[in-house]
Structure 1
Amino acid sequence: MEHYEWTVTSEHASDRIDKFLTAMDEGWSRTQVQLWIKDEHVKVNDVKIKSNYKVNEGDVISLTIPEAEELEITAEDIPLDVVYEDEDVIVINKPRGMVVHPAPGHYSGTLVNALMHHCKDLSGINGVIRPGIVHRIDKDTSGLIMVAKNDHAHESLVNQLKAKTTRRLYKAIVHGIIPHEHGTIDAPIGRDKKDRQSMTVTEENSRDAVTHFTVLETFSKYTYVQCELETGRTHQIRVHMKYIGYPLAGDPKYGPKKKTLDINGQALHAAVLGFVHPKTGEDMLFEASLPEDMELLLQQLRSV
């Protein structure tokens, strides 16, 4: 059980209590904070309050975070598109719509649930919720993801990600016609202060983020691009392409409010994945063809 206490300064006077608390730690979402308030884990001057309470200068705010309940994640017989597998690593071509690991609202039907049925040996470094998971791709992004089957492989793959030696190429359809054949977006990404569930380009509480892009094909109102990640920040390609004025087609969070192309989620696919094998030292490179929905979109755009 963790306990925190703050005294409100003039800088935060009149802020809602839930907004104040999310500003105290970028890892706390507004939804999580509101649950803590509802369950009376938050008090102001030793008195329980509601999420819409506006703090005053001098208020003493206390938060006691309860011990996390140990969740039992169950193995589920869900078909997997296994691109490669040995005793150390497994590479999966994840379909659009599948969540990578269990989280509030998604405790079943995830890639982890499927992996636990497919193979009994997964690294335990990330605990019960994320066994074997060394990196993620968004629920509505399809494509290649590597998974560690033991702790040695896990540490090796994570170190390669940190050293920026892995290769990760994505294919995407974006709004607008990009006039440059190649480009690099070097812009730090952090949590959006106005929307804690979103990321944005910002200098404040951010981490460096670099995306290289190449134009593959242009259409009347869209561009088909390849993006290579140098870093791997949350929603990086989606945030970066929006930042330069070419948001991903179908992106419900960072794209236009009005739905344009007929695709369930952002038109983004992790097409190429490369890394050094944790045990053999061999260079491994895998490719996954575009999913049917993106291929269909490209055919439609070419016919216009």
Structure 2
Amino acid sequence: MEELTIEITEETAGGRIDKAVTAIDTDWSRSQIQAWLKDGSVKVNGGSVKQNYKVKNGDVITVLPPDPTELDIQAEDLGLEIVYEDADVLVVNKPKGMVVHPAPGHTSGTLVNGLMHQVTDLSGINGVMRPGIVHRIDKDTSGLLMVAKNDAAHASLVEQLIKKTVTRKYAAVVHGHIAHDKGTIDAPIARDPKDRQRMAVVDGGKSAVTHFTVTERLGEFTVVECQLETGRTHQIRVHMKYIGFPLAGDPKYGPKKTLDIGGQALHAGVIGFDHPKTGEYMEFTAEPPATFQELLESLRNNG
């Protein structure tokens, strides 16, 4: 992996080294940085320092992450619902509660495990842990994902995501009564500087745009269709919280008193893209799962 160089400025001096490194927009955790300090993968001014080292103005930190351990990912019969499949691409309807790809300490029961059982060939671009995976949705979000079956298809789908030509529409139930029928949230997203486990709207973060349309108002809740222009981590959850309408059931971004429904009420119901080989635009739709439908009926009856 590539070496990262960080130069400490007067503004960032004084904090612990693990905090200083994880403040950079990466997926690294403080515990990971502490482990890398021990094995020499993180150095300050070319030398080793202790885990509690306080960074100084002018320090140059170099980070050379060790090569990831290749895991032996097993195929599992998880009965995935494959909505469409051909020689280049497939569309799968991920159930709520399923993680998309394996990670250290969590190597079974994921979408990838299921795909490996049901699909004979997947793109290898993202390596052994993420074969065919082009984009993700959160564990407790249900719905449609496009998956690449070869490297050319993978490159095409990623390019479409970068160019923002992929259609991605989500159904969501949010707290509160949204009075206006439509809206666009254009607010940059990055890791929450106060909590590395969360994302937040942060000045200088990555550009993030969500369009929403109200589809139903149910007393103290509103049902919206959100269309992504960008695809940042937790984007809809962060954006709806930002404008004061957090997702129902969301344990991370919702209010303390939210609905006990096993995670956020969010479903990726529409995915559309140009076929990697033919160029033909293809669009697929999946109805929300029974639990989502039952939630709507319950809110309608209580409204």
Match of 2:26 in 1: 26
| Cα deviations by residue, 1:112-157 (Å, 9 ceiling, x for unpaired) | 1111111120011112121111111111100000101111211221
Structure-2 change in CA distance of 1:221 and 1:122 (3 Å): same
Offset at 1:66? 2.4
Secondary structure of the 2:153 match is: helix
* Kept after mapping to 1: 8 A contact 2:210/2:230: yes
Secondary structure of the 1:73 match is: coil
Match of 2:170 in 1: 170
What pairs with 1:1-304 in structure 2 (closer than 5 Å)?
A: 8-24=8-24, 26-37=26-37, 39=39, 41-42=41-42, 46-50=47-51, 52-57=52-57, 63-204=63-204, 206-256=205-255, 258-304=256-302
* Kept after mapping to 2: 8 A contact 1:187/1:208: yes
| Cα deviations by residue, 1:17-61 (Å, 9 ceiling, x for unpaired) | 2111213453433232133235564456845523x4433456675
Secondary structure of the 1:12 match is: coil
Letter in 1 for 2:169: L
* Kept after mapping to 2: 8 A contact 1:42/1:49: no
Structure-2 change in CA distance of 1:69 and 1:297 (3 Å): same
Q: Output the CA distance in 1 between the equivalents of 2:221 and 2:122.
A: 41
Q: Output the CA distance in 2 between the equivalents of 1:7 and 1:183.
A: 40
* Kept after mapping to 1: 8 A contact 2:185/2:210: yes
Structure-2 change in CA distance of 1:280 and 1:245 (3 Å): same
Q: Output the CA distance in 2 between the equivalents of 1:6 and 1:84.
A: 45
Offset at 1:84? 1.0
Return 5+ residue gaps in structure 2 as ranges. Answer: none
Structure-2 change in CA distance of 1:297 and 1:38 (3 Å): farther
Q: Output the CA distance in 2 between the equivalents of 1:62 and 1:284.
A: 45
Secondary structure of the 2:11 match is: helix
Structure-2 change in CA distance of 1:25 and 1:215 (3 Å): closer
Identity of aligned residues (%): 65
Letter in 1 for 2:90: I
Q: Output the CA distance in 1 between the equivalents of 2:59 and 2:279.
A: 57
Bigger CA drift: 183-192 or 18-27?
18-27
Letter in 1 for 2:146: M
Q: Output the CA distance in 1 between the equivalents of 2:88 and 2:48.
A: 53
Offset at 1:303? 0.9
Structure-2 change in CA distance of 1:24 and 1:225 (3 Å): closer
Letter in 1 for 2:214: V
Offset at 1:104? 3.0
| Cα deviations by residue, 1:95-125 (Å, 9 ceiling, x for unpaired) | 1111111123322211111111111200111
Bigger CA drift: 5-14 or 120-129?
5-14
Secondary structure of the 2:222 match is: strand
Q: Output the CA distance in 1 between the equivalents of 2:239 and 2:159.
A: 24
Secondary structure of the 2:15 match is: coil
Offset at 1:5? 6.4
* Kept after mapping to 1: 8 A contact 2:186/2:209: yes
Return 5+ residue gaps in structure 1 as ranges. Answer: none
> Number of residue pairs matched?
301
Q: Output the CA distance in 2 between the equivalents of 1:182 and 1:59.
A: 48
* Kept after mapping to 1: 8 A contact 2:25/2:190: no
TM-score, with structure 1 as normaliser: 0.90
Letter in 1 for 2:37: I
